[in-house]
Amino acid sequence: MRMSNKVVLITGVTSDIGAATVKRFAEEGATLALTDMRPADTATLGAMGAADTRHMFQQADLREEVQVVALFDSVARRFGRLDVLVNIAGGDFGKNVELEELDVANLQRNIDANLTSTMLTCREAVKIMKPQSAGAIVNMCSMTFRGSSVNQFAYASSKGAVFALTRTLAMTLGKHGIRVNAVAPGMIEVESIKKTLAPGVWEGVSKWIGGTYPLGRVGQPVEVANCMLFLASDEASFVTGEVLEVSGGGRL
């Protein structure tokens, strides 16, 4: 199994992509340290194997530096090492408005959720990984990183920053044996999007957007999880500083 004897910290685990990622890493034998700002739900506990005492879950708001530091202290004390960090926590937390209506609070919320959280977790992970001279980090980017749809200023900017951070980390940390990559999903079928739409609307939206992709459909959470697993594994041992687009060939 690809993750046997490896300690893996995954953030944002109560999301659809998070739960799918937990399941895939568990299936590959990883020892899991999981976190989310929400309490662990039944799906997450089931995916990690609730009866498996190897694993841990610690609730944390990754926008808060003190909580991030406490999380990684817990991981270091319990496992003594960290082999992989998978950053899934984040999202689009602001309304898409005309530029003239964009306020600093909206912008800051996206920056904190997507960039600040990622930078803090990477910082703390590197403190553990450097003495090991080995490690892999996989960040959650987005197809919006190169510029997005009309008026999606805050989210696209924050994800563009995650791309820049990923490249900079890879260039800095390669000499320490630490690889840093990211995945950039296109439209993925997740409940957080479906819940924002009126009943029955998702079917039309997914058909329309999926129809613009060469593969003719939107993606599933497990398809993102599989790419994260690959980038974290030794199969990607000569891959760093890359953004793997998981979009059915589509471009935003």
Name the CATH code of domain 7-187+220-246 (choices 3.40.50.720, 3.20.20.70, 1.20.1050.140, 3.30.420.40): 3.40.50.720
Average pLDDT estimate for 37-64: 79
| The pLDDT of residue 150 is above 80 | no
Map residue 245 onto helix, strand or coil. strand
CA gap 131, 153 in Å, rounded: 39
Residue 48 pLDDT level (bands cut at 50, 70, 90): low
pLDDT, tens digit (0-9, with 9 covering 90-100), for 80-132: 999 999 999 998 877 677 887 788 888 899 999 999 999 999 999 999 999 99
Q: State the CB neighbour count (10 A cutoff) for residue 76.
A: 16
Average pLDDT estimate for 66-83: 98
Give the pLDDT of residue 180: 98
Burial of 4 (0-12, 13-18, 19+ CB in 10 A): exposed
CA gap 196, 212 in Å, rounded: 22
| The pLDDT of residue 50 is above 70 | no
> Which stretch, 28-42, 115-129, 179-193, has highest mean pLDDT?
115-129
| The pLDDT of residue 194 is above 90 | no
Report in angstroms the alpha-carbon separations of 163 from 76, 157, 206.
Answer: 27, 10, 26
- Contact call for residues 186 and 250 (beta carbons, < 8 A): yes
Q: State the CB neighbour count (10 A cutoff) for residue 199.
A: 7
Q: Is 213 a catalytic residue?
A: no
Q: Quick one: what percent of the chain has pLDDT higher than 90?
A: 66
Single pTM value for the model: 0.93
Give the pLDDT of residue 174: 98
Q: Is the pLDDT higher at 226 or at 49? A: 226
Sheet with 135-140: list strands edge to edge: 56-59, 31-36, 7-11, 84-87, 135-140, 178-185, 243-246
Any residues with CB less than 8 A from the CB of 197 and at least 6 apart, and which? 205
Residue 49 pLDDT level (bands cut at 50, 70, 90): low
Any residues with CB less than 8 A from the CB of 12 and at least 6 apart, and which? 18, 35, 36, 87, 88, 89, 90, 140
Q: Is the pLDDT higher at 203 or at 121? A: 121
Tokens standing for residue 209:
């957007």
Give the pLDDT of residue 51: 52
Give the pLDDT of residue 146: 79
Any residues with CB less than 8 A from the CB of 24 and at least 6 apart, and which? 222, 225, 226, 228, 229
Average pLDDT estimate for 40-46: 66
- Residue tagged active-site, from 116, 155, 179, 245: 155
Give the pLDDT of residue 107: 87
CA gap 227, 222 in Å, rounded: 9
Q: Quick one: what percent of the chain has pLDDT higher than 70?
A: 93
